[in-house]
Amino acid sequence: MLIPIAMIILGVLLIVAEVYLIPGFNVVGILGALIMLAAVTMAFLQAGVIGGVIAMLSASALTGGTLYWMWKSGAWDRFILSSSLKKDDRLLAKEGEHRARYLGKTGLAITPLRPTGVAEIEGERIEVVTEGDFISAGSHIKVVAMDRRKYFVRLMTESEPAG
């Protein structure tokens, strides 16, 4: 029974080494888990059902205790991204202001808008969407709304001043 006990301890030590010394490689941790599984199997074969169950419970308790100790010690913080990947609120506000500069502006449809196409507004070509109507290329349009990715335009009437 000493060999399965030694194998269980070796398996736990390999898992600890995986976390602390060789993070991200995974072979050592998997090898530790396989050694522990082989130790429990060996305990079942050598000591019968009772010896195998005792080995399995002790391996589970030792592994659980070790994982709890590593969690409390902060070892698991290596696996978690602590910084946020979200954009900065100020950057989002600045981007929104930059995009909002087209609201209310007039321009020219470069391609037919059915309902999506390209328009030139203040010398820049941007992708626009109509409110559902077909607008032919060369028509004067006005930006009436926007969401995060789209500018919505409508055909300018003759009574609206350009600009």
Q: Which domains does the chain have, with CATH numbers?
A: 2-79 (no CATH), 89-155 (2.40.50.140)
pLDDT tens, N- to C-terminus, the chain (163 residues) = 788 889 989 998 988 888 778 766 678 888 988 999 999 999 999 888 998 899 899 999 998 898 888 888 877 666 666 666 666 777 767 776 777 888 889 999 999 998 899 999 988 899 999 988 899 999 999 999 888 778 999 998 766 665 5
Which residues contact residue 156 at a Cβ distance below 8 angstroms, ignoring those fewer than 6 apart? 106, 139, 140, 141, 142, 162
At 22 the pLDDT is 78
At 1 the pLDDT is 74
Question: Dihedral angle at the C-alpha atoms of 69, 29, 17, 66, nearest 10 degrees?
Answer: 20
The sign of the dihedral angle between the CA atoms of 87, 93, 99, 103 is: positive
At 26 the pLDDT is 79
At 132 the pLDDT is 80
At 92 the pLDDT is 67
At 39 the pLDDT is 92
